[in-house]
Homo-oligomer: A and B are copies of this chain.
């Protein structure tokens, strides 16, 4: 309550003292460029500089690929050059990139993709019939029957139909309309596009966007880029990072002094915090949005990643409809899904979709117009999305293998979630909430006063200092909590649970040893 002013900041994501301005390779390029210029020809002042550039872009921060990741790259280069370190490899636990951590692609998905890519393979006996059937259907709907044509800006029609059918099944029959589905370049693209349309006004009428703290930093970055007002609401760490509607009330009331709060963003299951919202909580949030006239953004990209036996994923769409027509006819909602997470982990294809509910028809036209400027999302990513929403079913040739692969990935993730929680909680000075879902641990870490002072001396946030030391001493790359936001005076880091079980055990043991050592050193 006492930090009211700090909670509403104009276009400011959480700050970390950063070396963003100078990437390592850029510094090298600068050095070589300087050598090429003859002394008598001094370089003219550049047009595009830190001073002259778009200040909103300058204000953007994105911790998941921030200074810690640049440092990880430098260390990898040093290892390649044979420089001795206390470790032999960098483990990039900073990002939810399953296949980079060794997870194998789902065979069926890649078979359909290969058939779509090179239709000559449709004659090959080495591909199953159900994969061929899906590939033919996708190609039939593409211009020139090719992934190489542009699709409609909203996405390939039959894929939008498959998405709508998937949502209807997922939500126990609550209908979905293909006209409300927009295929996107990953979920990030959908989120930033709808925010771009939503933001308007100046001064105290500028659009306020409510986001959870901790948040996934795409939100703060886009808010900054759009010069919108970030309105923080804090998740309750003492209560498994649950969302409390009283906290939403506090945040929106305080924000009204500074801006026009118009959008409420929810991440469920939570990133970086891993909580899975209860049905009751979602109902409360929807009622709050209805009451306060807020446009709801539901980031549901981890909908397949629920591990706690007590938790279930409930979509905002479904709960909205179950609350009756006063809500289902009025609350404006955009929800997001992606090919990048779940059991498939197809990040590189940049597939995703957005479903909109109660969007004004004129705004739908505006949305299609805005999307059309970029022509279309990658058609290969759209095809990948299709396979995710239209997988083999019982009785089809690939069903058994598909199910085995899917269960194996999700079963392993559930094991690793428990393993991580248990091991972190054995370490003095680390507390880890249950990982109910998603694919990250976000443990709270105790940082001694002496370490906080040392960090300040290096002009670093204390948890950035901690994570840098962890990286330099163990090769493990995690993201400091300050990159996601956290209550003042608390420190965390985000680590993926994606490494294979045995490797994850080693990683956790190394973090434990590092932490104990760190506490001793700065006692």
Contacts and interface: CB of A to CB of B under 8 A. Distances in A.
Contact of A365 (B26, B99, B142, B200): B26
Nearest to A263: B47
Contacts of A222: 373
Interface string A147-169: 11111010000000000000000
Contacts of A179: 25-26, 28-29
Which among A179, A293, A295 has the greatest number of chain B C-beta atoms within 10 A? A179
A239 interface: no
B48 A186 contact: no
Interface in A334-390: 344-350, 358-366, 368-370, 372-381
A200 B358 CA distance: 35
Contacts of A259: none
A359 B149 contact: no
Contacts of A62: 369, 372-373
Interface stretch (A114-122, A299-307, A444-452, A505-513): A114-122
Interface stretch (A103-111, A396-404, A421-429): A103-111
A171 interface: no
Contacts of A52: 200, 262
Interface in A301-351: 325-326, 329-330, 332, 344-350
- Copy total for this chain: 2
Contact of A57 (B49, B53, B197, B325): B197
Contacts of A211: none
B379 A146 contact: no
A141 interface: no
A152 B113 CA distance: 23
A48 B295 contact: yes
Interface residues of A, number: 118
A38 B325 CA distance: 8
A185 interface: yes
A182 to B, nearest CB: 12
A143 interface: yes
Contact of A48 (B23, B33, B332, B376): B332
A312 to B, nearest CB: 27
A198 interface: yes
B148 A293 contact: no
Contacts of A1: none
A180 interface: yes
Interface in A63-79: 64-66
Given A329-B43, A346-B148, A364 B29 contact: yes
A113 B105 contact: no
A17 to B, nearest CB: 14
Contacts of A150: 95, 97, 100, 347-348
Contacts of A332: 46-48
Contacts of A101: 144
Contacts of A95: 150
Contacts of A380: 348-349, 378, 380-381
A249 interface: no
A361 B48 CA distance: 10
Interface of A: 20-23, 25-30, 33, 36-38, 41, 43-44, 46-50, 52-55, 57-58, 60-62, 64-66, 95, 97-103, 105, 110-111, 113-114, 117-118, 121, 124, 126, 142-144, 146-151, 153, 177, 179-180, 185-186, 188-189, 192, 196-200, 217-218, 221-222, 225, 262, 293-295, 325-326, 329-330, 332, 344-350, 358-366, 368-370, 372-381
20 contacts: A20-B369, A22-B361, A23-B365, A26-B368, A36-B325, A38-B325, A48-B332, A50-B363, A52-B200, A52-B262, A54-B196, A58-B366, A66-B369, A114-B121, A147-B348, A148-B347, A348-B379, A349-B379, A350-B375, A350-B379
Given A57-B197, A188-B375, A217-B373, 19 more contacts: A26-B364, A26-B368, A41-B329, A46-B363, A48-B295, A50-B362, A52-B262, A53-B366, A60-B373, A62-B373, A99-B148, A101-B144, A148-B349, A149-B348, A150-B348, A348-B378, A348-B380, A349-B378, A380-B380
Closest A-B pairs by Cβ, 9 of them: A100-B143, A348-B379, A114-B118, A65-B372, A26-B364, A30-B361, A100-B149, A26-B361, A378-B378
